[in-house]
Amino acid sequence: MEQRSFGGALRVSVLGVGCARVGSISNPVSIREIEATLGSAIEAGINVFDTADVYGQGDSERTLGHLLRRYRDRMFVITKVGHDVTRYAAAVRIAKPLLRVLVQLRPDTQTAVLRARAGAMSQNFDPPRLRWAVEGSRHRLGLDQLDALLLHNPSVETLRNPEIHDFLAELLNTRQADRVGASVESLAEVEAALTIPAITMLQVPVAVANELSDTAALEHIRRRNIGVFVREILSSLIPGSRPLREAVRTAIAPDFVTAAIVGVSTRRHLNELLSAIS
C-alpha cells in the first residue's frame, strides 16, 4: 500500500478506514466481525483509522483499543473531541442490545433513535470539558499518548480562540497527544485552523480539498508540511455517476492530500476499497 508522509518522518497509508459506524445501533454487523474486518485492513497495509469519542457511544474507540493491543506498531489512530452527548451516550449504551433488535424488527425505530441522538448532541469546546474528553479517549483506546487528536467540527470563532491554541499546545507539551489538528467543514475553517501554531493535521471533506488549489491556505499547508486527510468520498458519489474506484483515485491524486478516509464495516466494503487502488 502506498504511504505518504507529513509533519516530519511519519508515514501513513494513502487509504484510511473511517470508524463512525463501529458500534453504532444502526449497524447490524457484530463487533467481532468488525474487528476481523479491521484486522484484515491492517494486514492489507492500511494503518490509518479515524474515530471520535462520540462514535458508537464510545464503542468505536473501545473496539480500536482492543486492536491496538495486537497491532500497536501498525496502527495510526485519529480521534476527535468537541461533541457533548454524555447523558444520552450512557443511556443508549446500556440499552444498545435491545435497541439493535428493535431497529432490525422495526426500521422506524432507527429514525426515532437518530432523531433523539441529534437532539441530544451539542458542541462543547470549553478547555476543561475538552481535557475530560481527551482523558476518556485515552482510556478507551488504552493509550497514554494519543496518535492524533482533532477538534471535531469547530467553528471559526472556536479555532481563533487563544484558549484553544493553548489547549492544543498543552496536549503536545504534556505528551497526551503526539499530533493535534482539526476536522473542519469549510475553507474558512481551514484558514482559521492554520492560525494555530500547534496543528500538523487537517481533516476536510473532499469538496473542500478541491477548493484548496492555488490558495494561500495551500501554500501555508505545504510550508508547514501539514497532513491533509480527506473524507466524505462515498457521499460525493451520485447514483449512476463515476464509480468508487475513480472517486478514491481522484481524492488521493493531489500531492498535498495525505490520505483518503472511507467508512468500512464489512469485508465486502473493505474489498471494494482495496480494489479501488489496485
Residues 238-249 pLDDT 10s = 555 567 888 888
C-alpha cell at 1: 500500500
CATH of domain 3-84+123-275: 3.20.20.100
- Tell me the pairing of strands 227-231 and 201-205: parallel
HEC profile of 112-137:
HHHHHHHHHCEECCCHHHHHHHHHHH
Average pLDDT of the chain to the nearest whole number: 87
Residue 80 · residue 106 · CB < 8 Å: no
Q: How far, in Å, CA of 270 to CA of 278, rounded?
A: 13
pLDDT of residue 93: 58
Q: How far, in Å, CA of 68 to CA of 227, rounded?
A: 22
Report whether pLDDT(113) > 80: no
C-alpha cell at 110: 432507527
261 backbone dihedrals φ, ψ, rounded to 5°: -105, 125
How confident is the model over 203-210, as a mean pLDDT? 95
pLDDT of residue 244: 80
User: Would you tell me how many other CB atoms lie within 10 Å of the CB of residue 201?
Assistant: 21
- At 3-21, the pLDDT tens digits run 999 987 789 999 999 998 8
The strand pairing partners of 50, in sequence order, are 18, 78
Report whether pLDDT(103) > 60: no
pLDDT of residue 277: 81
How confident is the model over 160-187, as a mean pLDDT? 98
pLDDT band at 57 (very low <50, low <70, confident <90, very high): confident
Q: Which residue has the higher pLDDT, 152 or 30?
A: 152
Per DSSP, the residues of 161-213 read: -HHHHHHHHHHHHTTSBS-EEEE-SSHHHHHHHTT-TT--EEEEEHHHHHHTT
Kindly list the domain boundaries of the chain, sorted by start residue.
Answer: 3-84+123-275, 86-120
The pTM assigned to this predicted structure is: 0.86
Helices 31-43 & 267-275, crossing angle to 10 degrees? Answer: 20
Report whether pLDDT(118) > 70: no
Kindly state the DSSP code that residue 159 receives in the 8-state scheme: H
Q: How far, in Å, CA of 237 to CA of 244, rounded?
A: 8
How confident is the model over 91-118, as a mean pLDDT? 57
pLDDT of residue 268: 87
pLDDT band at 99 (very low <50, low <70, confident <90, very high): low
How confident is the model over 73-91, as a mean pLDDT? 82
- At 213-232, the pLDDT tens digits run 889 999 999 999 999 999 99
User: Would you tell me how many other CB atoms lie within 10 Å of the CB of residue 9?
Assistant: 6
